[in-house]
Chains A and B, each alone.
Chain A
Amino acid sequence: MAKHMHEIRDPLHVFIRLDSNERKVLKTRPFQRLRHIHQLGLTYLLYPGATHRRFEHSLGVMELAGRVYDTVTDPSNISHESVKNVVPAHNSYEHPYWRRVLRMAALCHDIGHLPFSHSAEDLLPDGWDHERLTLEIIRSDELEPIWKEIKIQSDDVAKLAVGPKKYKDSAFTDWEAILSEIIVGDAFGVDRMDYLIRDSHHVGVAYGKFDHYRLIDTMRILPKEEGGSAEPALGIEEGGLHSAEALVLARYFMYTQVYYHHVRRIYDIHLRDFLKKWFPGGYLPIDVEEHLKMTDNEISVDLFKAARHEEHPGHDSARRIIDREHFKLWYQRNPNDIQKNPEAGKLIFDAARKKFGEANMRFDTYKQKGSGLNFPILIDGRISSSLAMSEVLKTVPIVAVDYVFINPDYRKEAEKWLKEEREKIITKKEVEKI
């Protein structure tokens, strides 16, 4: 007899179970390609264990999305009338339909990722990002026949896979908004849950770990009753508060210690410089067929070649990666300068590249998106804001970095120059234009 359920071993979730329909998606070329896209780009040059791929992360996100769906739609976990009106009844056609759509969306949410994940994102033409490529692939000739065969709408999968921030074709109903929050939500999105735990495991740091079992078990759909609105949102029961705090702290530590580690960032910049020379016109292709042909493997082969051949246009950037001769961190954001000018880092970079040359300076900046701190929490039958209940959440810092990197040959000279020029640069008066 044919088997309808299948298991895949996973270092975090032990067994990831999927049905035959989900396996059809797994077997497609776009999904199999994710076996060859490193989850953390070139981070393995810094943390050697970080060689895991988007493939296993996508499976993990599907597994967790299913678990959250089963918890939050369990009738014994729904106590508010306004929520009962939003969640499909257990015996309805819609209930298993949306479970299937959610798991498929979770499985496909990263399917548009570029080689080396985020490193090359800036090289897409204006208006394009990996989420838009994800939408294109979900609606492509490769996947559309599968959606038809299993009777789900590709647009439903697409909508939940990228969420309201990236899906512009139609507005989200309250139910669709909650389902997309399960995957890409700022507070409890399972995408974030899986990548924090998985990256932490492979990188070899403990920062990203938190009790996701407890957290998922306490997740609920609750009306966000601030100011009396009955609009439902994803929240937790009181017992999950400490796990939620641990998730927020895990995010803070992983961003500061791993994702925005300055050496990891400069490798990304060198890779981007290399890719700019590698792709015709300096842009990555947006055609689905061309996109599917590109993995980390093709680029790695050429990266090695370029590093060994001085005449290759990407030689300098490739050599800096392969021979580990990356630019060095020369200036970083600090509270004193930010107090005088929030754009101090950018101004120092602009002045330095004029002085030492465009080719010898690189700039990197990032500020945390969203905050994920304010969610509804059910305590003693009342709903309140998590920020009213948690002293920890109130004090979690915002992740913000400004890094200026320099060609090591100029480092000493530049340090001396910055000592003399710093105040003048960051306090220069701006001409206001309106």
Chain B
Amino acid sequence: MKRLQRDAVILSLIENLRAKGSWCGETHIQKATYFVQELLRVPLEFEFVLYKHGPYSFDLSDELTAMRADALLKLQPQLYPYGPSFIHGRGSKLIKKRYPKTLKKYNPMVKFIANKLGDKGVTELERLATALYVTREIETDNSIEARAQCIHKLKPHVSLDEARDAVNVLDNFIEESQDI
């Protein structure tokens, strides 16, 4: 996918997340993009590592900054004490108009993830995305308990009970995503 084509998909994801009530800070976009790419195989080609609040892509972080430079996105400050939201910039319409076929093709994937994650806060997104990372990237016997233990080990501030819940929710997502 070309850079601006990929930006069109990110813009669509942000639009759909906001429609579902997401605050759309960087963490929300990072985790939703991770799901779109890794669970639903949209070829965005961002490299994710386990870092801030779970899987994190430095490339995506750079791309969000680049999109601000190109006026495709802008930061909207939030009330104390929260961080800013990303909203569409004045150049976003042009890019969406430029890639109608791309947006149509990936619309079901973007909508599915926005529906599932749009109402979630940073804490929940961190657990769910880490659960997906552990399921996909780390060798375990794939049982709920083994994956929960692994999440707790990687992110000690996530309790074992919270990790088990996250794995259960994730497994439901994976099952539902088969129909997309």
Contact = CB atoms under 8 A, between A and B. Distances in A.
Interface in B56-97: 56, 58, 61-62, 65-66, 68-72, 75, 77-84, 90-91, 94-95
A415 interface: no
Interface stretch (A148-156, A197-205, A270-278, A368-376): A368-376
Contacts of A341: 94
B52 A233 contact: yes
B53 to A, nearest CB: 6
A369 B123 contact: no
B126 A229 contact: yes
B49 A388 contact: no
B174 interface: no
Interface in B20-34: 23, 25-27
B19 interface: no
Given A387-B77, A387-B84, A394-B75, A371 B99 contact: no
Contacts of A144: none
B152 to A, nearest CB: 13
A289 interface: no
Nearest to A379: B81
A383 B53 CA distance: 17
Contacts of B61: 369-371
A85 B158 CA distance: 13
A228 B122 contact: yes
A126 interface: no
Interface stretch (A117-125, A166-174, A306-314): A166-174
A407 interface: no
Contacts of B62: 367, 369-370
Contacts of B100: 432
Contacts of A389: 80
A254 B96 CA distance: 34
Given A369-B62, A388-B77, A434 B70 contact: no
A231 B72 contact: no
Given A385-B81, A388-B83, A226 B91 contact: no
A165 interface: yes
Contacts of A400: 66, 69-70
Interface in A364-415: 367-371, 374, 382-385, 387-389, 394, 398-400
A384 B80 contact: yes
A426 to B, nearest CB: 12
Given A338-B71, A434-B105, A385 B65 contact: no
B98 A226 contact: no
Interface residues of A, number: 44
Max chain B Cβ within 10 angstroms of own Cβ: one of A225, A227, A383, A385: A227
B40 to A, nearest CB: 16
Interface in A193-243: 225-231, 233
A321 to B, nearest CB: 30
Given A339-B71, A339-B91, A387-B75, A227 B123 contact: yes
Contacts of A339: 71, 90-91
B60 to A, nearest CB: 11
A384 to B, nearest CB: 3
A164 B48 CA distance: 10
A20 interface: no
Contact of B83 (A168, A177, A374): A374
B51 A172 contact: yes
B81 A382 contact: yes
Contacts of A383: 81
Contacts of B108: none
Interface of B: 4-5, 23, 25-27, 49-53, 56, 58, 61-62, 65-66, 68-72, 75, 77-84, 90-91, 94-95, 98-102, 105, 121-123, 125-126, 154-157
Interface of A: 82, 85, 164-165, 168, 171-174, 177, 225-231, 233, 338-343, 367-371, 374, 382-385, 387-389, 394, 398-400, 430, 432, 434
- List the 3 shortest-distance A-B pairs measured between CB atoms, nearest first: A227-B122, A384-B81, A385-B83
